[in-house]
């Protein structure tokens, strides 16, 4: 406890899943957390829970794809707190769009706007608040889908691949100013986004998806949002003071192999994930 005492942290995409878990964990560790999202109802519930547990958090409406909205967030933080210590660029969306020749331009633009442009905008306008104090940690949510491709999701692959390298660019740009920049590449994590993409646990399609992931993932299960939040906490804390420009994979081992190979036909392998 207390690894983020007296630190000001901003978490985008704070309403559910990884963002929500990170807000709670950061608050437990002593941070004052600014919860930035477009979903006021869900975020406010999280803020109330944090406060009821003795933590400090507030909700600020932010559309990360909108420059005016992000500058408004930056002004609010400057007026209220003066500066920040941690920025977790976690806001993102995902949706299948088909093969590239049939992929809707509007969907591609939307995913790039929220995932990649949103990471750029929040970084651009909140970085000066870190520069003023000469220190800070920025954490971006990339994805294993930014390292390898998915069927029918080229827009998401492009956005997350961009975040991975954008992270490295910022790490170089601001290292001499005491600002570290890293990213986290989650695998398949049990979040509402997975329910939207693959179906919930209550739906047959969702159950089939989770069963397939049991044996595709070496650790034999989907990840929990708090398991990603734990990595974000490490990167936000002084314990990671010599780490910058890294993309840390939290995927249960999926990226450790080149292709399923024997896993496709080895029933014993599949059974061990039950």
| Catalytic residue set | 156
271 contact partners, CB below 8 Å, separation of at least 6: none
Residue 83's alpha-carbon distances to 8, 37, 73, 206, in angstroms, are 8, 19, 12, 43
CA separation for the pair 112, 188 (Å, rounded) = 20
Tokens of 255: 């990226």
Q: Is 161 helix (H, G, I), strand (E, B) or coil?
A: helix
In angstroms, the CA 44 to CA 261 distance is 46
Of the candidates 83, 108, 88, 86, which has an alpha carbon nearest to the alpha carbon of residue 97?
Answer: 108
Tokens of 31: 């941070």
Is residue 62 within 8 Å of residue 69, measured between CB atoms?
Answer: yes
Cα 99 from Cα 107, distance rounded (Å): 12
Q: In 3-state terms, what secondary structure has residue 57?
A: strand
Buried b or exposed e, range 4-39, using 16+ CB within 10 angstroms:
beebbbbbbbbbbbbbbbbbbbbbbbbbbbbbbbbb
Q: SS3 for 8?
A: strand
């Amino acid at each position: 406890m207390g690894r983020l005492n007296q630190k000001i942290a901003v978490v985008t995409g704070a309403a559910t899943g990884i963002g929500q878990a990170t807000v709670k964990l950061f608050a437990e560790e002593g941070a004052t957390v600014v919860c930035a999202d477009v979903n006021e109802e869900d975020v406010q519930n999280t803020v109330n829970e944090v406060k009821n547990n003795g933590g400090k958090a507030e909700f600020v409406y932010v559309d990360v794809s909108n420059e005016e909205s992000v500058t408004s967030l930056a002004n609010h933080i400057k007026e209220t707190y003066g500066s920040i210590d941690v920025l977790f660029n976690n806001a993102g969306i995902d949706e299948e769009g088909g093969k590239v020749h049939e992929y809707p331009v509007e969907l591609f633009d939307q995913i790039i706007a929220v995932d990649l442009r949103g990471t750029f905008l929040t970084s651009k306008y909140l970085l000066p608040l870190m520069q003023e104090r000469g220190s800070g940690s920025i954490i971006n949510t990339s994805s294993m889908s930014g390292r390898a491709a998915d069927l029918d999701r080229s827009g998401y692959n492009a956005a997350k691949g961009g975040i991975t390298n954008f992270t490295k660019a910022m790490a170089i740009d601001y290292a001499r100013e005491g600002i570290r920049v890293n990213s986290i590449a989650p695998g398949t994590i049990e979040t509402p986004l997975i329910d939207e993409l693959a179906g919930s646990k209550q739906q047959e399609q969702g159950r089939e998806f989770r069963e397939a992931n049991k044996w595709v993932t070496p650790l034999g299960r989907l990840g929990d949002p708090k398991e990603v939040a734990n990595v974000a906490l490490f990167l936000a804390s002084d314990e990671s003071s010599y780490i910058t420009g890294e993309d840390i994979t939290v995927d249960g081992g999926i990226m450790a192999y080149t292709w399923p190979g024997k896993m496709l036909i080895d029933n014993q392998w599949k059974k061990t994930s039950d």
